[in-house]
Amino acid sequence: MKSFSTKLVWFDGKFVKSEEAKVPVMTHAIHYGTSVFEGLRGYWNSKNLNIFRLDDHIKRFRNSGKIYSINLRFTNKEISNAIIQLCKRNSVRRSCYIRPFYFVGEYGINLNVTEKAPTHTAIVMFEFGDLFNKNGIKAGISSWRRIHEISTPPLAKMGGNYLNSILATQEAKRNGYDESILLDHLGNVSEAPGENIFILRNGEIITPPSSSSALEGITRESVIEIVRNQGYKIIEREILRTELYLADEIFLTGTAAEITPVTFVDGKKIGNGIPGKLTKQIRSTYSDIVMGKNKKYAHWLTAVY
């Protein structure tokens, strides 16, 4: 299998060497976190590199900036084409992670960011495997609460929002857990620092709604559609912290995490302490889809070559 070099990045409409993509120290985003980003995966199946739900990611990419009046100065088509061409120019023949982002440039210390503020757009990529152990991870409930609509819109995928996730992750690692689970401002389950959460309890598949400060995750949306097509019912409702301890199965979803089973929460065994039957079924279906083995969902994939 041929490897690839990430020597090239896409920066403001041009393909340049990574070391040449520089920004001034007075870049607004460095000072205030005024950046918007997305995370996509490209999956190599020995025949082609397929990007998962490219158009949906780019749509959210633009919408996140709208919330803060930060202007993406390229069309959705231009961004999509740039991602595909960057994969080609870097000769990507392995599964990879793709990170497009845009940010406010030199704007002084002015907090009145408007659509007229200067912005820059970049795309980088790198090889990427499993984020977590697919045999299950140990999670702990964070003492930090998830950001909320009353202060910082959680539906915007903004760089500054993830300071909240960093605090929760640091705490989890200090306490010996693989990952954290955040509660919302009311004490209900929200999400993990970079993943959505699902539980199986009493035969029901449940996931927190966006009103619990859960990001409208694209992998989350994909899983909801997959399980509904398989005849299951998905319930979006508030989840009490205690319900995590009583769940038969718990799994996380996200571009980086894909489908990751949670086998312990706060030291308490979930189910039998191993990945559950439903989780493994969903993970298997998801894997077939992203690897181009399920024609029903072929419209979710964009071929690079």
Quick check: 107 and 232 in contact, CB under 8 A? no
Q: Which residue bears the tokens 């041009």?
A: 14
Residue spans per domain, the chain: 8-127, 137-290
Angle, helices 218-229 vs 54-67, to 10°: value is 130
Question: Whole-model pTM?
Answer: 0.96
Cα(54)–Cα(84) distance, integer angstroms: 10
Cα(191)–Cα(81) distance, integer angstroms: 32
- What is the pLDDT, as a whole number, of residue 258? 98
Q: Is the pLDDT of residue 61 over 50?
A: yes
Closest CA to 133 of 259, 14, 301, 17: 259
- What is the pLDDT, as a whole number, of residue 6? 79
Q: Is the pLDDT of residue 3 over 80?
A: no
**Cβ neighbour number for residue 93 with a 10 Å cutoff:** 17
Joined together, the tokens standing for residue 82 give 């740039």
Which of these CATH numbers, 3.20.10.10, 3.40.50.2000, 3.10.450.240, 3.40.630.10, describes 137-290? 3.20.10.10
- What is the pLDDT, as a whole number, of residue 4? 64
**Whats the size of the chain, residue-wise?**
305
Q: Which residue bears the tokens 């929460």?
A: 265
Cα(259)–Cα(293) distance, integer angstroms: 17
78-98: average pLDDT: 97
The CATH code that applies to domain 8-127 is: 3.30.470.10
pLDDT cut 90: percent of the chain above it: 97
Q: How many helices (H) and strands (E) does the chain have?
A: 7, 17
Joined together, the tokens standing for residue 62 give 């633009």
Quick check: 190 and 212 in contact, CB under 8 A? yes
Cα(159)–Cα(234) distance, integer angstroms: 30
186: region left, alpha or beta (phi > 0 left; psi from -120 to 50 alpha): alpha
- Angle, CA of 253, 256 and 248, to the nearest 5°: 25
Q: How far is CA 73 from CA 29, 65, 108, in A?
A: 16, 11, 20
Q: Is the pLDDT of residue 1 over 50?
A: no
- Position 295, amino acid: K
Catalytic residue list? 157
- Position 42, amino acid: G
Give tens-digit pLDDT for 192-245.
999 999 999 999 999 999 999 999 999 999 999 999 999 999 999 999 999 999
What average pLDDT does the structure give for the chain?
Answer: 97
Q: What is the CA radius of gyration of the chain?
A: 20
- What is the pLDDT, as a whole number, of residue 206? 98
DSSP tag of 46: S
Q: Is the pLDDT of residue 68 over 50?
A: yes
Task: Kindly give, in sequence order, each residue whose CB lies less than 8 Å from that of residue 251, ignoring residues fewer than 6 positions away.
Answer: 197, 198, 259, 260, 261, 262, 275, 276, 279, 282, 283
Give tens-digit pLDDT for 250-274.
999 999 999 999 999 999 999 999 9
HSE-CB for 187 with a 13 A CA cutoff: 4
9-31: average pLDDT: 97
Give tens-digit pLDDT for 114-172.
999 999 999 999 999 999 999 999 999 999 999 999 999 999 999 999 999 999 999 99
Strands (E), the chain: 8-11, 14-17, 35-37, 40-44, 49-52, 96-104, 119-127, 137-145, 179-183, 189-191, 196-201, 204-207, 234-236, 249-254, 258-265, 268-269, 301-303
